[in-house]
Each structure stands twice: as structure tokens, then as C-alpha cells.
């Protein structure tokens, strides 16, 4: 074997592997976003101003963890397939997180078992 790219999700030629990977790194995990959503439901406070972010960080999509430069761009984003997909994901059951994974694996706490005696 040994093709060009081992990742099946990279199908289109125009995307290099690096570009594809980068988009994955930029987005927060499902469980992080879900936590944020639960928090923001309780308290509705204005977004903090941030000069480093596009549009001073005022146009934010919680679901996708993305900032937009103005309200038009953000509304356009709300119509995209990617956003709707994500919205649906968040409305469903709570996503798995690290705690779930550890409990399922029977590792609530780190347990290395009884120490073996070496003679």
C-alpha cells in the first residue's frame, strides 16, 4: 500500500492535508461547545470587546466557535450547511467527553493496581 494520503476524508485535490487538518484544530470539541451553550443559556451577557478578533469579537457563533466581522456575514453563516449540522448536533444528546470515556473504560480514578513484589 502507501497511497498519497492515508486520510479518507481528504478527497478533493485542492485541499492539502495540512489545510484539512487545520480546520479541525481550530474548532472546539463538541463537549466544550456544549458546556458553553449550557452556560450561556443561564446568563445573557454582552460579548467582551476584543481588538484581536474580527468585528471586535461582537459577532460570534457559539455553536461553531467562530467570530465574524459583521452581522451580515454571521447571518450568512447561520444559513450554511455546516452551521445547521452543528446546531442539530448540539440539540441532540450530550456529546461524549473525556469523563464519559474514562468511566466507560473503568478508570474513574487512576489505579495502577496492587504493587507487584519483585524478589
Binding residues for Zn ion, per CB under 5 A?
A: 61, 63-64, 83
Pick 15 or 60: Cβ nearer Zn ion? 60
Minimum CB separation from Zn ion for residue 78, in Å? 6
Pick 18 or 92: Cβ nearer Zn ion? 92
Minimum CB separation from Zn ion for residue 38, in Å? 17
Q: Could you give the residue ranges of the DSSP H alpha helices within 1-119?
A: 17-26, 30-42, 71-78, 81-91, 98-104
Minimum CB separation from Zn ion for residue 66, in Å? 6
Q: Do 62 and 36 contact (CB within 8 A), yes or no?
A: yes
Q: CA Rg, the chain, in Å?
A: 20
Amino acid at each position: 500500500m502507501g497511497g498519497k494520503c492515508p486520510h479518507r476524508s481528504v478527497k478533493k485535490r485542492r485541499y492539502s492535508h495540512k489545510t484539512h487538518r487545520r480546520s479541525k484544530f481550530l474548532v472546539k470539541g463538541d463537549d466544550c461547545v456544549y458546556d458553553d451553550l449550557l452556560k450561556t443559556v443561564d446568563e445573557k451577557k454582552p460579548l467582551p470587546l476584543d481588538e484581536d478578533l474580527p468585528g471586535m469579537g461582537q459577532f460570534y457563533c457559539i455553536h461553531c466557535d467562530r467570530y465574524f466581522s459583521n452581522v451580515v456575514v454571521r447571518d450568512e453563516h447561520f444559513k450554511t450547511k455546516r452551521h445547521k449540522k452543528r446546531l442539530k448536533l448540539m440539540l441532540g444528546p450530550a456529546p461524549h467527553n473525556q469523563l464519559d470515556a474514562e468511566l466507560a473504560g473503568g478508570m474513574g480514578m487512576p489505579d495502577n493496581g496492587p504493587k507487584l513484589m519483585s524478589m
